[in-house]
Structure 1
Amino acid sequence: MARPRKFVEHEVVSSASEVFAANGLAATTLDDLVRATGLGKQSLYNAFGGKKELFLRALSEDRAEAARAVSEALGHGDASPVERIRGHMLGLAIEFSRGDSRVSLTTRALVESSGEPDRLSEVTKEGVEQLAGIYARCLEHARENGDLPADADVDSLAMYFVAVTKGMELLGRTGVGRAALTAVALDSLRALGDRPATDPTSA
């Protein structure tokens, strides 16, 4: 009879995720993961298959959380779709300008992806496309409301906002402050024909 596991997989993945978010995949060692999770190297191999496999597992959970957060920010509400996008972008400017802001694993994977057709690149691309799909649905509502031209390419715009938000995340990580990130967020709205002159959160 197989011996029951004495750890909770979700807790191990969560602990590993924090290490990967801080260091990235390449710079994280097995010793780092052993210290963070409390499991031995052999136990990690037995349970997850290795460092990269554990990263992929953590990336999958991180993707789900990121998609949930963006869906909530852009979901239906009293505000118009464009106003929801504006609020979302300004909120990210604040979040990413905090010194303790955690880098998402999707962003880590984008930076570290070799571009080769391997599982990491595949999962990373799926994550980007999932986020773009959420933006596209909100943008489609904006087009239906007449806030975007009838011929607006919502898929291209959606990928544009994914690119901008991931860039803002990396800029924030390097110490770029709120004012600069807010300017990026407001400038990104020009793609929607929106030209706000000031940061409404500073009032």
Structure 2
Amino acid sequence: MARPRTFDEPQVTRQAREVFHDHGYAATSVQHLTAATGLSRSSLYGAFGDKHGVFLRAFAQYCDDNAGAIERELAGDDAGARGRLEHHLRTKVPDSDGPQRGCLLAKGTAELAGEDVDVARIAGDFYATYERALTACVRSAQAAGDVRADLDPAATGALLLSVLRGIETLGRAGHPAEALRSAVDAAMAMLAAPGR
């Protein structure tokens, strides 16, 4: 009979995801993971299967946590929708110039999605959730008269997702924060209803 686990699996997953976030998938060794989690190789593999299994669990946890946070941030009453949307875009601009850590989603997708169907599926599910949340927020802002009524909400949600991922990628590369803030200004100006 298998012994019950004596560690907090979600916490171990969070510890492992920080290692993958810092080093990427390929450069993360089992030694990195055991040092970060305090687990032996056998305990780590007993719980997750192998390094790939650890990464998939960490990647899925990261995506789930972020999807939930995004949905909560963008949901609410129609009157505040435009403000929530603008706040969301502005908080994605780095506070300073220079290379940024970036997000595990972007790193993992860039490194693995082309060859790993599980990573591609998890990332695809996250982006679909993100796009739906943006679309719903645009629709709410339109209902309040704060976003142009002639815009298709779904197409606008897809456009904003592209802007957001562009901001993340350029920020990671050290693109000037002021230029990224200007991109947000342009996106919000494009959305603005006449007279707003």
Letter in 2 for 1:178: A
Letter in 2 for 1:86: E
**2:8 paired with 1:8:** yes
Q: Which runs of 5+ in 1 are unaligned?
A: 195-203
- Alpha carbons of 1:103 and 1:94: their partners in 2 closer, same or farther (altered >3 Å)? closer
| 1:28-51 superposed Cα distances (whole Å, 9 cap, x missing partner) | 222211221122222222110112
Letter in 1 for 2:135: A
**2:55 paired with 1:62:** no
**2:137 paired with 1:146:** no
Say whether the 8 Å CA contact 1:81–1:141 is kept in structure 2.
yes
Q: What is the SS of the residue equivalent to 2:93?
A: helix
- Alpha carbons of 1:98 and 1:61: their partners in 2 closer, same or farther (altered >3 Å)? farther
Greater mean deviation of Cα atoms: 162-171 or 141-150: 141-150
Q: What is the SS of the residue equivalent to 1:80?
A: helix
User: Matched residues, percent identical?
Assistant: 33
Give 1:134 shift: 0.7
Letter in 1 for 2:26: A
Say whether the 8 Å CA contact 2:94–2:171 is kept in structure 1.
no
Letter in 1 for 2:139: E
**2:46 paired with 1:46:** yes
Aligned to 2:109: 110
- Alpha carbons of 1:117 and 1:38: their partners in 2 closer, same or farther (altered >3 Å)? closer
Aligned to 1:164: 163
Give 1:142 shift: 2.1
Question: In 2, distance between residues paired with 1:74 and 1:99?
Answer: 28
Letter in 1 for 2:66: A
Question: In 2, distance between residues paired with 1:26 and 1:187?
Answer: 38
State the Cα RMSD in Å.
Answer: 2.7
| 1:58-94 superposed Cα distances (whole Å, 9 cap, x missing partner) | 1222122212322233222585322221122112214
Aligned residue pairs, count: 194
- Alpha carbons of 1:114 and 1:93: their partners in 2 closer, same or farther (altered >3 Å)? closer
Question: In 1, distance between residues paired with 2:13 and 2:28?
Answer: 14
Give 1:157 shift: 1.7
- Alpha carbons of 1:24 and 1:152: their partners in 2 closer, same or farther (altered >3 Å)? same
Greater mean deviation of Cα atoms: 7-16 or 185-194: 185-194
Aligned to 1:179: 178
Say whether the 8 Å CA contact 2:102–2:171 is kept in structure 1.
no
Question: In 2, distance between residues paired with 1:101 and 1:73?
Answer: 23
Q: Which runs of 5+ in 2 are unaligned?
A: none
Say whether the 8 Å CA contact 1:74–1:85 is kept in structure 2.
yes
Letter in 2 for 1:189: M
| 1:2-48 superposed Cα distances (whole Å, 9 cap, x missing partner) | 22323211111011111111122222222211221122222222110
TM (norm. structure 1) is: 0.81
Give 1:55 shift: 1.5
| 1:84-142 superposed Cα distances (whole Å, 9 cap, x missing partner) | 211221122145x4879653322222212343571111111111111111111101112
Question: In 1, distance between residues paired with 2:75 and 2:88?
Answer: 11
